[in-house]
Amino acid sequence: MPSTNKKKIINDPVWGFIAIKNEECFDLIEHPYFQRLRRIKQLGLTHLVYPGALHTRFHHSLGAMHLMGQALEVIKAKGTHISEEESLAACLAILLHDLGHGPFSHALETTIVSGVSHEELTDLFLAELSHEFKGLELALRMFRDEYPRQFFSSLIAGQLDMDRLDYLRRDSFFTGVSEGQVGSERLIKMLNVQDDTLVVDEKGLLSVEHFLSARRIMYWQVYLHKTVLAAESLLINILRRAQYLAAQGAQLFATPHFFRFLRKQYSLADFLDDPTLLHSFARIDDFDVFSSIKAWTEHEDRILSSLSRYLVDRKLFRIYQSSQPFEKEFIDNFSHTVER
Amino acid sequence: MPSTNKKKIINDPVWGFIAIKNEECFDLIEHPYFQRLRRIKQLGLTHLVYPGALHTRFHHSLGAMHLMGQALEVIKAKGTHISEEESLAACLAILLHDLGHGPFSHALETTIVSGVSHEELTDLFLAELSHEFKGLELALRMFRDEYPRQFFSSLIAGQLDMDRLDYLRRDSFFTGVSEGQVGSERLIKMLNVQDDTLVVDEKGLLSVEHFLSARRIMYWQVYLHKTVLAAESLLINILRRAQYLAAQGAQLFATPHFFRFLRKQYSLADFLDDPTLLHSFARIDDFDVFSSIKAWTEHEDRILSSLSRYLVDRKLFRIYQSSQPFEKEFIDNFSHTVER
Amino acid sequence: MPSTNKKKIINDPVWGFIAIKNEECFDLIEHPYFQRLRRIKQLGLTHLVYPGALHTRFHHSLGAMHLMGQALEVIKAKGTHISEEESLAACLAILLHDLGHGPFSHALETTIVSGVSHEELTDLFLAELSHEFKGLELALRMFRDEYPRQFFSSLIAGQLDMDRLDYLRRDSFFTGVSEGQVGSERLIKMLNVQDDTLVVDEKGLLSVEHFLSARRIMYWQVYLHKTVLAAESLLINILRRAQYLAAQGAQLFATPHFFRFLRKQYSLADFLDDPTLLHSFARIDDFDVFSSIKAWTEHEDRILSSLSRYLVDRKLFRIYQSSQPFEKEFIDNFSHTVER
Amino acid sequence: MPSTNKKKIINDPVWGFIAIKNEECFDLIEHPYFQRLRRIKQLGLTHLVYPGALHTRFHHSLGAMHLMGQALEVIKAKGTHISEEESLAACLAILLHDLGHGPFSHALETTIVSGVSHEELTDLFLAELSHEFKGLELALRMFRDEYPRQFFSSLIAGQLDMDRLDYLRRDSFFTGVSEGQVGSERLIKMLNVQDDTLVVDEKGLLSVEHFLSARRIMYWQVYLHKTVLAAESLLINILRRAQYLAAQGAQLFATPHFFRFLRKQYSLADFLDDPTLLHSFARIDDFDVFSSIKAWTEHEDRILSSLSRYLVDRKLFRIYQSSQPFEKEFIDNFSHTVER
């Protein structure tokens, strides 16, 4: 029995209410590829420092779609014509921009699928979805910056795109780092289009400056927080060890699709050759990685089990900063401690 | 190398900053039993309806500790003596109140550990921790309502306890259901103690009434939201089917500790007999359950795989409400659809 | 040199940004009759208890216009046709709904212009403005509930009108009584029209209930706060004494137009006979009343000067509440104190 | 009958609740000199651009006192000893820091009491109050930067004083310019004292930078907003014309104490010679100035009445900015318009 009562308004503590304005967007959001983003946290392991930072790429993508709708309205109200078709394509494109992200993106990108960037993966997903969804073609052209009216691409991926305007605000909201709150609403009101190029009205100059300052705060206080980096480094090393053991043929608990990526490294060519690879990738998310790590806390390989336990119980590496090279004694001291 | 630079202030988007004021609380928070609460969502599957509702029992417990500190200060300022030791015990007790919760509490309570309540499990954890942490004894007495100064128990678990004042506000915050926002700060300022009993100052009457109204909103719009209930019902049925298959000896992917609870039902007596049971329980959380369900989407048992896929891809049961019994034809219609 | 760069977006800490969407509304807002509302506080003397409550009927009227725009959009999106002309009229009508308010409304209504209600005064203003502004005629019909499509009148003045949805939220915001915050956005999303009658969607039931609870909070904690009532009672008695002295021919400092209303009482018939009366009324606001009272603190009439000083220096009456009649001794005690 | 039930908690939409913690502060707040600040808007005529900006120096001073309390607690918790007496003095000093402000400060300072700065006037008030309030002496020393523990003066008037941390946040709140919101709470948590000098913890560096960025936003978007400057310039010219006419002996409606300052210019020496001057100054506020201007809209001097009408009806000067000198024709064009 098909759903007819499609829920079209979603509560968002950041923007209030997000309305899904057309069927195409609704259907795309319902697709398993998009629903998967519900299980990929926007900020990876940041919640180990900021416990509220559990929001997902699903929620962020909806927020970016919401802002896209507002930006297009502002631009239209200032006299630039935008067709129904273009509106829809822009909304689809921004919805889809994060589709290629894997669990704990950064860690995965350098270990699990080290040969393929998340942009390339997004492209693979879009190519597949375009068979199912007509109307996606224009979205794809905007996404790949191949559409002549260049401002659409700028709204999707540019210096002041809807992606950033959502995630900076959302990350500030969920971490509680209120100083990083960018004035997205005001910036959007200042957007304009000149010769199909996205510009900011002159009186928005200061807002742009303040946006850069808030963004810098977010980088130093959140994205590059030393404890967050320590946790990510730990995660990467856990995955490397697991890959090493898998390559050796060791027994290793892992969810089936995840194991595929532990055992072997794949290139973009592999993905193009074997479509089931993308399907496997589409089945893995934060849950696979973390529940496997949890199981590894009891693995017989002492390195794997120790590192895994450190992450699960939040015994993170500590970072020492120094403007001078560390003295030998200082380093030796650590080596001895570790050896014991 | 022991951590000496203990981080004692935590960003909380709900209350601003939460300060951890003493070493005992800090050490308890560091304990793996408490860290595990980072992986148990406060609201189970509610995020399928309200995508922001991913906050955890870890965050909630810290928030409740924060409010406890404020409540004790208010009460002291109004003339009731509270000793250092009592203060500490009250903070420990509120920190620990949720320790016994398992993943997706309600579903678990009626399926996986159906014989043991989460309060009993909390008690088991507290008993074990009391060997490691001295000073926990008074906390335990307050927790079990055995301490003569009764208002401490009321602050931990009563009609207007710090648990509720945090979770109602926090749930309202993360769901974005702003109407459910209770005036916790004002209510706390109205608290008082008379003959060791917790009371509310007369001028707080209206605030209490409004609290009840906001709470009712939260029940109807969030806790008892029909789609949330549908998702929980789905989850319970998935687990029941998995237990059924496990009992039959079927192959079933599951993280090891989780599998223990799938294969067999345990009673409180079992937990008391075999301490490793509690240790297994302490290793399972939302990740184990959900990553197993994800693997089951490809299980050969068609019932298990279908139900699992419904949950993972968010194809939820629909609820039809009627003040009249449904007509046979209406029901038959569904049966036929399902049969096909 | 006429203003061509009409500023069309106004910052509002309550609703974010208020856009003035058409020229007619802009011109009306620029009119001295509307600008006068800048000098009439929404909550009279409430700021003596809640120091933030200095917001004006000007700001409130803009906010109500903003909500009207949103309500009309919601209703249109649900399928009710609304013409451009009706939209404009509804916005004009809600903008104008408070035009007849004098300074410290309640005090004035029972003393200074005791014979004419603020609704009648609003009507007089609208009648005059309708000569200057064409298009106001339909607004007038809506305002007077004479337009057949009844829901417009309900949006302007009904149980859930835009007036209330703005002022309750605004009063909550500026007083800081956060419990009184009504969920105006959600309520507006729940509005609908059936047979030209304003209705609320069924799932908005709880929101309406919560709205009533929040409103009750505002009544008890703000509008009927005993210290606010004490201040208003003081103000009324000051004005009565001033009128009494003016009637006796005493010298009395007052701004010229204000003095006209001190010296003599006017009826609606007087206003209709002599148009200059309305013009005088249009020149008085909170500033006239309060600066006169400040001058009266040094008046030779001891009653007038004492009462005035009480108000200016915030030495307010105290209210004693009792469920029993006060005993004679209690009252005598006060009489003696006052006599001395 | 003396007030015994002193209200000690004040609702503040900016900081939540402000507690008045001791009797001395309470009594000072009750004093007519302090109550007068209720009638002096923090931002003068800014509300003509940002209609919410009606908050007063009274409210701001309470907010600054609130932050002072928090800052002292933070500093104490980090190990600097602060005596009860010092705490009290610091709170009194910050409460009093704005006492010398007249209505529409900037306009007054350059016209009405052009010979005396608001700091000198504050000093005069403090000197007088110190007869009534013992304990004010230490506050005075801190205020005048004569107390050896220099950080107290820095908290009262320095680069990161409680004055700024309150007014920037408060002005941002009431104008609705949310980008100007400084992270006052976090900055206060980063304060520390080294050798009796106020410092900021190293990890607060970025917060300081962001504070400066937010402050710059406030300057450009609020304090130096061209329409606000136009309104202030208009006000100054009205007052100059009124002084000119008063000096000529023209009839001029004005509240009595205000008239004293229109008729004649006073120097600091005059204030020291004749104590009634300070008392007169203490009786004038925004109400006197604005209600007089309202009366002047009908004055027979055409310049005074025109300018006054412009302000009252908000027909403000327009500002033309150019990086080149304006051409003669452009200017002549205006001259002709004005002449007509």
- Looking at residue B181, its pLDDT comes to 84
Task: Please give the backbone phi and psi of residue A18, each rounded to the nearest 5 degrees, phi first.
Answer: -110, 120
Inform me whether the C-beta atom of residue A11 falls under 8 Å from chain C C-beta atoms.
Answer: no
CA distance D279 to D292: 20
Counting as low any pLDDT under 50, the low residues of chain A are: 1-5
- In A89-165, DSSP assigns E strands to none
Which structure tokens are listed for A217?
Answer: 């705060």
Q: Which residues of A touch C17 (CB under 8 A)?
A: 185-186, 189
Which structure tokens are listed for D229?
Answer: 């400057």
The length of chain D in residues reads 340
Positions of CATH 1.10.3210.10 in chain C: 10-223
Which structure tokens are listed for A285?
Answer: 């998310």
Nearest to residue D67, comparing CAs of D24, D122, D12, D105? D12
In DSSP terms, which residues pair with C9 in a beta bridge? C19
Residue C220 carries which DSSP code? I
Q: Do A221 and D206 touch (CB under 8 A)?
A: yes
Are D100 and D118 in contact by the 8 Å Cβ rule? The answer is: yes
Beta strand D197-200 pairing with D191-194: antiparallel
Nearest to residue B91, comparing CAs of B63, B119, B112? B63
Provide CB contacts within 8 A for A329, sequence distance 6+. Answer: none
- Looking at residue C340, its pLDDT comes to 67
Which structure tokens are listed for B275?
Answer: 């301490």
Provide CB contacts within 8 A for C157, sequence distance 6+. Answer: C97, C143, C145, C163
Which structure tokens are listed for C124?
Answer: 């007089």
Measure the CA angle with vertex A301, ends A295 and A304; round to 5°: 60
Which structure tokens are listed for B55?
Answer: 């906050």
The C-alpha of C66 sits at a distance from chain D's nearest C-alpha, in angstroms, of: 14
Positions of CATH 1.20.1250.30 in chain B: 227-339
The C-alpha of A269 sits at a distance from chain B's nearest C-alpha, in angstroms, of: 27
Q: Do C185 and A9 touch (CB under 8 A)?
A: no
Which residue shows structure tokens 């003295």? A327
Tell me the H-state helices in B49-104: 57-77, 84-96
Select from D9, D16, D189 the Cβ nearest to the Cβ of B17: D189
Inform me whether the C-beta atom of residue C1 falls under 8 Å from chain A C-beta atoms.
Answer: no
With CA atoms as reference, the chain A residue closest to D206 would be A217
Inform me whether the C-beta atom of residue A84 falls under 8 Å from chain B C-beta atoms.
Answer: no
Q: How many angstroms separate the first and last alpha carbons of chain A? A: 63
Inform me whether the C-beta atom of residue C12 falls under 8 Å from chain D C-beta atoms.
Answer: yes
CATH of domain D21-223: 1.10.3210.10
Decide: residue D49, CB within 10 A, 0-12 exposed, 13-18 middle, 19+ buried.
Answer: buried
Q: Do A185 and C9 touch (CB under 8 A)?
A: no
Q: How many CA atoms lie within 13 A of A248 on its CB side?
A: 10
- Looking at residue C153, its pLDDT comes to 96
Select from B9, B17, B189 the Cβ nearest to the Cβ of D17: B189
Interface mutation target, options C12, C186, C188, chain A, most CBs of A under 10 Å? C186
CATH of domain A226-339: 1.20.1250.30
Q: Which residues of D touch C50 (CB under 8 A)?
A: 11
- Looking at residue C322, its pLDDT comes to 82
CA distance C284 to C156: 26
Nearest to residue A174, comparing CAs of A6, A337, A12, A4? A12
pLDDT digits (tens, 9 = 90+) for B250-281: 999 999 899 999 998 899 999 999 999 999 99
Select from D179, D206, D221 the Cβ nearest to the Cβ of A217: D206
Provide CB contacts within 8 A for B340, sequence distance 6+. Answer: none
Interface mutation target, options A189, A190, A191, A203, chain C, most CBs of C under 10 Å? A189
CA dihedral C249, C254, C258, C260 (to 10 degrees): 20
Report DSSP letters for B99-153, one per residue. Answer: TT--TTHHHHHHTTTTTS-HHHHHHHHHHHHHHH-TTHHHHHHHHTT-SSSTHHH
Asked if the interface predicted TM-score (ipTM) of this complex is over 0.95, the answer is no
Q: Do B52 and A55 touch (CB under 8 A)?
A: yes
Inform me whether the C-beta atom of residue A26 falls under 8 Å from chain B C-beta atoms.
Answer: no
Look at residue B198 and give its three-state secondary structure: strand
Q: Which residues of B touch C220 (CB under 8 A)?
A: 206
Quick one: which H or E segment has residue C130? helix C118-132
Nearest to residue B63, comparing CAs of B189, B198, B165, B187? B165
Instruction: Output the tens digit of pLDDT for each of chain C's 340 residues.
Output: 334 445 588 999 999 889 998 889 999 999 999 999 999 999 999 999 999 999 999 999 999 999 999 999 999 999 999 999 999 999 999 999 989 898 987 777 778 888 888 888 888 998 889 888 877 899 999 988 999 999 999 999 999 999 999 999 999 999 999 888 888 888 999 999 999 999 999 888 888 988 998 899 899 999 999 999 999 999 999 999 999 999 999 999 999 899 999 998 899 999 999 999 999 999 999 999 999 999 999 999 999 999 999 999 999 988 888 888 888 888 888 888 777 6
> Is pLDDT above 70 for B177?
yes
Beta strand A16-19 pairing with A191-194: unpaired
Which residue shows structure tokens 């002291």? B76
Q: Which residues of C touch D52 (CB under 8 A)?
A: 11-14, 55, 59, 174
Superfamily of domain A11-223, CATH level 4: Hypothetical protein af1432 (1.10.3210.10)
Select from C16, C185, C189 the Cβ nearest to the Cβ of A185: C16
In DSSP terms, which residues pair with B197 in a beta bridge? B194
CA distance D170 to B209: 31
Q: What percent of chain B has pLDDT over 70?
A: 97
Q: Which residues of C touch D295 (CB under 8 A)?
A: 255-256
Look at residue B16 and give its three-state secondary structure: strand
> Is pLDDT above 70 for B6?
no
> Is pLDDT above 90 for B135?
no
CA dihedral C235, C238, C240, C243 (to 10 degrees): -130
Chains near A (3 or more Cβ pairs under 8 Å): B, C, D
Chains near D (3 or more Cβ pairs under 8 Å): A, B, C
Decide: residue D229, CB within 10 A, 0-12 exposed, 13-18 middle, 19+ buried.
Answer: middle
The C-alpha of B305 sits at a distance from chain A's nearest C-alpha, in angstroms, of: 14
Q: Do A210 and D179 touch (CB under 8 A)?
A: yes
pLDDT band at B85 (very low <50, low <70, confident <90, very high): very high
pLDDT digits (tens, 9 = 90+) for A96-155: 998 989 898 777 777 888 888 888 888 899 888 988 887 789 999 998 899 999 999 999
Which one-letter amino acid corresponds to residue D1? M
- Looking at residue C71, its pLDDT comes to 97
CATH of domain B227-339: 1.20.1250.30
Which structure tokens are listed for C116?
Answer: 């004419």
Inform me whether the C-beta atom of residue A49 falls under 8 Å from chain D C-beta atoms.
Answer: no
Please, what are the averages of pLDDT over each run of 10 residues along chain D (340 residues)?
A: 56 92 91 96 96 97 97 94 95 92 80 83 88 86 93 95 96 92 89 96 87 90 93 95 94 92 91 93 94 96 97 90 85 79
Q: Do B179 and C178 touch (CB under 8 A)?
A: no
Quick one: which H or E segment has residue B12? strand B9-12
Measure the CA angle with vertex C104, ends C102 and C106; round to 5°: 90
Report DSSP letters for A149-193, one per residue. Answer: STHHHHHHSSTT-HHHHHHHHHHHHHHT-GGG---HHHHHHHEEE
**Contact pairs from chain B to chain D, CB under 8 Å:** 10
CB neighbourhood size of D250 (10 A): 13
Inform me whether the C-beta atom of residue B16 falls under 8 Å from chain D C-beta atoms.
Answer: yes
- The string over C8-24, giving b where at least 16 C-beta atoms fall within 10 Å of a residue's C-beta and e elsewhere, is eebbbbbbeebebbeeb
Cα separations in angstroms, A106 against A245, A260, A305: 21, 19, 22
pLDDT digits (tens, 9 = 90+) for D287-329: 999 999 999 999 999 999 999 999 999 999 888 888 888 888 8
Cα separations in angstroms, D109 against B21, D101, D263, D267: 49, 9, 16, 12
Inform me whether the C-beta atom of residue D9 falls under 8 Å from chain B C-beta atoms.
Answer: yes
Cα separations in angstroms, A217 against A54, A184, D170, D203: 19, 16, 22, 12
**Contact pairs from chain B to chain C, CB under 8 Å:** 38
Give residue C16's region: left, alpha or beta (phi > 0; psi -120 to 50): left
Are B143 and B91 in contact by the 8 Å Cβ rule? The answer is: no
- Looking at residue C12, its pLDDT comes to 95
Positions of CATH 1.10.3210.10 in chain A: 11-223
CA dihedral A273, A274, A278, A283 (to 10 degrees): -170
pLDDT band at B4 (very low <50, low <70, confident <90, very high): very low
CA C77, C83, C84, C90 dihedral sign is: negative
Inform me whether the C-beta atom of residue D174 falls under 8 Å from chain C C-beta atoms.
Answer: yes
Distance of CA D46 to the CA centre of its chain: 13
Q: How many CA atoms lie within 13 A of D307 on its CB side?
A: 20
CA D35, D50, C155, C78 dihedral sign is: negative
Which structure tokens are listed for D261?
Answer: 């300052």
Q: How many angstroms separate the first and last alpha carbons of chain C? A: 63
Inform me whether the C-beta atom of residue C166 falls under 8 Å from chain D C-beta atoms.
Answer: no
Mean pLDDT for chain B? 91
Inform me whether the C-beta atom of residue B279 falls under 8 Å from chain C C-beta atoms.
Answer: no
CA distance B318 to A6: 11
Select from A181, A210, A221 the Cβ nearest to the Cβ of D213: A210
Measure the CA angle with vertex B129, ends B125 and B134; round to 5°: 145
Are A52 and A176 in contact by the 8 Å Cβ rule? The answer is: yes
The C-alpha of A197 sits at a distance from chain C's nearest C-alpha, in angstroms, of: 24
Inform me whether the C-beta atom of residue D184 falls under 8 Å from chain A C-beta atoms.
Answer: no
CB neighbourhood size of C339 (10 A): 6
CATH of domain B10-223: 1.10.3210.10
Cα separations in angstroms, A296 against A258, A307, B304: 14, 9, 26
Select from D9, D17, D185 the Cβ nearest to the Cβ of B16: D185
Nearest to residue D122, comparing CAs of D100, D104, D142? D100
Inform me whether the C-beta atom of residue C38 falls under 8 Å from chain D C-beta atoms.
Answer: yes
Nearest to residue D107, comparing CAs of D250, D230, D203, D264? D230
CA distance B282 to A133: 45
Which one-letter amino acid corresponds to residue A106? H
Positions of CATH 1.20.1250.30 in chain C: 226-339
Q: Which residues of C touch D251 (CB under 8 A)?
A: none
Among A residues 194-223, those touching chain C with beta carbons less than 8 Å apart: none
Which one-letter amino acid corresponds to residue C22? N
CA distance B76 to D206: 37
